[in-house]
Amino acid sequence: MKLVGEKNFYKILGVTETASKEDIKKSYRKLAKKYHPDSNRDNPHIAERFKEISEAYSVLSDPEKKKQYDAVRAWGGGGYRDFAQYQPPDGMGGGTPFGDLGDISEMFRSFFSFDDHGTRRKKPEQGKDIHLEIEIPFEQALKGGKRSIAVPVEDVCRTCKGSGSKPGSKVQKCSHCGGRGSVSFNQGAFAVKKPCSYCYGRGTVIATPCPDCRGSGITNRVKKIAVEIPKGVAGGTTVRVKGQGRKSSKGGYPGDIYITCRVGEHPFFQRNGLNVQTEVPINIAQAAFGTKVQVKTVHGKTVQLNLPAGTNSGKRMKLKGQGLTKDEKTGDHIIVVQVLTPQISDAKQKELLETFAREKGFSW
Ligand SMILES: [Zn+2]
Ligand SMILES: [Zn+2]
């Protein structure tokens, strides 16, 4: 976004930007006399020049108008690139650097929320977030720790250095803006340049696309990042890795990566929150006579349990504090006894069990 030179009121009056009020007045008087239409009747261009001089003086002689004009010039002179990067500080009304400077700023206000694609912008555009899902082995979920994760990333194409054009191919001038990268239009007293929306201000368009990125200027690769898996992580937990997502093309912050953890199954251990559960199968003799069983905890410890005579299937025992730890809370290890019913495989076994059952008064 740039102001165009012919509306430079200082230049029109032939004074410097630091000229005093007196100097401006002196210069105006001199020029007004010289270019007055009454004394130049045979030259129609003079009238135009005189109008310009009067306009310039009406602005520069008025301290309030001059202030506005200087502000607009200072801003417009920065070029649209800077302009596109401009982020109004929080609490600044209207998103312009002028505050309430009145008419001129009002006139330009509409431009300040345009980026170089011509769309309205309010905030710096943040890079996109990346969402990934990973499976964490059961044991790693217990202990937590670092885990290397492959993340797809976009890079500037090395072949074309991001231009999108095949190296060595001819660059074509943008026909829309004639290669200038900007188009002009009038806004009130000012002619304003705006970036060309066809070539995004580049002034050139791609004739032969780069074969490696197909003209996008971007290639994809995989980057490895180390992620800290929290100790005791439960399935469905999402871990955020800040600032490792996609880069912002508009000067904003990069996005984040959100990693959703699935926790793998374990052949023996089941998880229930911070508690761990295991089933301990015993045979009917162990159940009837009582037995000692050894149970492994998730922490690798072996614990011996005494099952009394007459232990029933479904009996639960608790190993306190042998579950998972998370946020200073620790779960328990629950042991569930499962009594296995024997399969009768011959006539002798059948006879023995029948004898026992009759003795006990069981019916079947
Ligand atoms: Zn390329
Ligand atoms: Zn263009």
Q: Which of 220, 244, 263 is the last residue of a domain?
A: 263
Evaluate whether residue 191 is within a structural domain: no
Q: Measure 171 CA to ligand 1 centroid, in angstroms.
A: 14
Evaluate whether residue 120 is within a structural domain: no
Give the residue, 321 or 111, on which the prediction is more confident. Answer: 321
Based on the fold, state whether residues 58 and 25 are members of the same structural domain: yes
**DSSP for residue 161:** T
Q: Measure 201 CA to ligand 1 centroid, in angstroms.
A: 19
Task: Looking at the CA of 196, name the nearest ligand.
Answer: 2
pLDDT of residue 7: 67
pLDDT of residue 278: 94
Q: Measure 217 CA to ligand 1 centroid, in angstroms.
A: 5
Task: Looking at the CA of 175, name the nearest ligand.
Answer: 2
pLDDT of residue 249: 65
Task: Looking at the CA of 205, name the nearest ligand.
Answer: 2
Q: Is 304 exposed, middle or buried (0-12, 13-18, 19+ CB in 10 A)?
A: exposed
Q: Measure 193 CA to ligand 2 centroid, in angstroms.
A: 12
Based on the fold, state whether residues 255 and 157 are members of the same structural domain: yes
Based on the fold, state whether residues 243 and 338 are members of the same structural domain: no
Query: How large is the average pLDDT for residues 72-81?
Result: 50
Distance CA 261, CA 304 (A): 33
- List C-alpha distances in Å: 152 to 121, 247, 315: 28, 12, 50
pLDDT of residue 340: 96
Evaluate whether residue 194 is within a structural domain: no
Name the region of 2 (left: φ>0; alpha: ψ -120 to 50; beta: rest): beta
3-state secondary structure of 278: strand
Structure tokens at 96: 């312009």
Evaluate whether residue 181 is within a structural domain: no
Place of tokens 């720790």: 145
* CATH of residue 299: 2.60.260.20
Neighbours of ion ligand 1 (CB under 5 A): 157, 159-160, 210, 212-213
Query: How large is the average pLDDT for residues 130-150?
Result: 89
- List C-alpha distances in Å: 276 to 25, 232, 266, 322, 330: 89, 11, 11, 8, 11
Q: Measure 171 CA to ligand 2 centroid, in angstroms.
A: 13
pLDDT of residue 98: 41
Task: Looking at the CA of 195, name the nearest ligand.
Answer: 2
Given a contact cutoff of 8 angstroms between Cβ atoms, the answer to whether 120 and 255 are in contact is no
Q: Measure 183 CA to ligand 2 centroid, in angstroms.
A: 8
Q: Measure 173 CA to ligand 2 centroid, in angstroms.
A: 8
Query: How large is the average pLDDT for residues 90-98?
Result: 38
Evaluate whether residue 6 is within a structural domain: yes
Distance CA 153, CA 243 (A): 12
How many structural domains compose the chain?
3
- Provide DSSP, 307-337: EPTTPPTT-EEEETT-S-EETTEE--EEEEE
**DSSP for residue 95:** G
Q: Measure 52 CA to ligand 2 centroid, in angstroms.
A: 31
Based on the fold, state whether residues 135 and 153 are members of the same structural domain: yes
Q: Measure 157 CA to ligand 1 centroid, in angstroms.
A: 5
Evaluate whether residue 200 is within a structural domain: no
Evaluate whether residue 134 is within a structural domain: yes
Based on the fold, state whether residues 142 and 244 are members of the same structural domain: yes
pLDDT of residue 105: 41
Q: Measure 219 CA to ligand 1 centroid, in angstroms.
A: 7
Backbone angles phi, psi at 67, to 5 degrees: -60, -45
Q: Is the pTM of this model over 0.85?
A: no
Based on the fold, state whether residues 136 and 250 are members of the same structural domain: yes
Q: What is the pLDDT of residues 291-304, one digit of tens each?
A: 999 999 988 899 99
Distance CA 59, CA 272 (A): 77
Based on the fold, state whether residues 104 and 143 are members of the same structural domain: no
User: Would the pLDDT of 108 be above 60?
Assistant: no
User: Would the pLDDT of 331 be above 50?
Assistant: yes
Task: Looking at the CA of 211, name the nearest ligand.
Answer: 1
Q: Measure 151 CA to ligand 1 centroid, in angstroms.
A: 21
- The three state secondary structure string of 214-255 is CCCCEEEEEEEEEEEECCCCCCCCEEEECCCCCCCCCCCCCC
Q: Measure 108 CA to ligand 1 centroid, in angstroms.
A: 38
Based on the fold, state whether residues 315 and 211 are members of the same structural domain: no
Structure tokens at 338: 């499962």
Based on the fold, state whether residues 17 and 78 are members of the same structural domain: yes
Domain span at 40: 2-109
Q: Measure 77 CA to ligand 1 centroid, in angstroms.
A: 33
3-state secondary structure of 361: coil
* CATH of residue 35: 1.10.287.110
Distance CA 173, CA 176 (A): 9
Evaluate whether residue 141 is within a structural domain: yes
Q: What is the pLDDT of residues 248-303, one digit of tens each?
A: 766 678 888 999 999 888 888 998 888 999 999 999 999 999 999 999 998 889 99
